[in-house]
């Protein structure tokens, strides 16, 4: 493992915008070492990366300003990335409402703010196939995954729409698992790292 210390996986959290600190806490609860990523050099020695929620247009602008587009794509070709909410939008191959550029690392189509405005945010109970028991899911101005490509697998759905999807080494959630005390979704991601 490139960055592991004493068996712990070293996971970066993109710290340009959004609640990256909540992901850092969740990763530590799940048994990983969490470090903040703000530049291409910060990607060195990481075992994986989390792209947090936030505002996807702003995040994309900051990723461009920091010259991170190609370094993130290259990182994703070699190592696992977990995107939540805006992070899921940035990993998608197609983004609508409105369209915006993305890293295109997962074969999914996603619609921004599809559940409505901030007032339409909610907490739901999911029954993921990959986990035992219920999972609390916090949706905040959440996107909807409208299409899942053949190489991707739906791990959980809400109201008939995929909300937790994996494809190879990558994982996306349209909800915020970092806002609960349940670390199981972060553990799914950590288990993707050899």
- The residues that are catalytic are 85, 176, 178
**Nearest residue to 139 via CA among 98, 189, 88, 105:** 88
Q: Per the structure block, which two tokens stand in for 164?
A: 């937790």
Three-state DSSP string of the chain: CCCCECCECEEEEECCCCCHHHHHHHHHHCCCEEEEECCHHHHCCCCEEEECCCCHHHHHHHHHHCCCHHHHHHHHHHCCEEEECHHHHHHEEEEECCCCCCCCCEEEEEECCCCCCHHHCEEEEECCCCCCCCEEEEECCCCEEEEECCCCEEEEEECCEEEEEEECCEEEECCCHHHCCCCHHHHHHHCCCC
């Amino acid at each position: 493992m490139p960055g592991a210390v004493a068996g712990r996986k070293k996971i970066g959290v993109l710290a340009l915008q959004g609640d990256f600190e909540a992901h850092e806490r969740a990763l530590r609860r799940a048994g990983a070492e969490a470090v903040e990523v703000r530049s291409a050099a910060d990607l060195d020695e990481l075992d994986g990366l989390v792209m947090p929620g936030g505002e996807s247009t702003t995040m994309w602008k900051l990723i461009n300003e920091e010259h991170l587009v190609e370094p993130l794509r290259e990182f994703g070709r070699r190592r696992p990335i977990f995107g939540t909410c805006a992070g899921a939008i940035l990993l998608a191959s197609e983004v609508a409402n409105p369209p915006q550029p993305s890293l295109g690392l997962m074969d999914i189509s996603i619609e921004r703010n599809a559940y409505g405005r901030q007032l339409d945010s909610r907490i739901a109970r999911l029954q993921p196939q990959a986990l035992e028991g219920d999972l609390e899911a916090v949706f905040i101005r959440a996107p909807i995954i409208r299409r899942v490509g053949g190489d991707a697998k739906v791990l959980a759905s809400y109201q008939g729409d995929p909300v937790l999807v994996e494809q190879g080494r990558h994982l996306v959630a349209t909800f915020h698992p970092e806002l609960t005390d349940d670390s199981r979704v972060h553990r799914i991601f950590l288990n993707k790292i050899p």
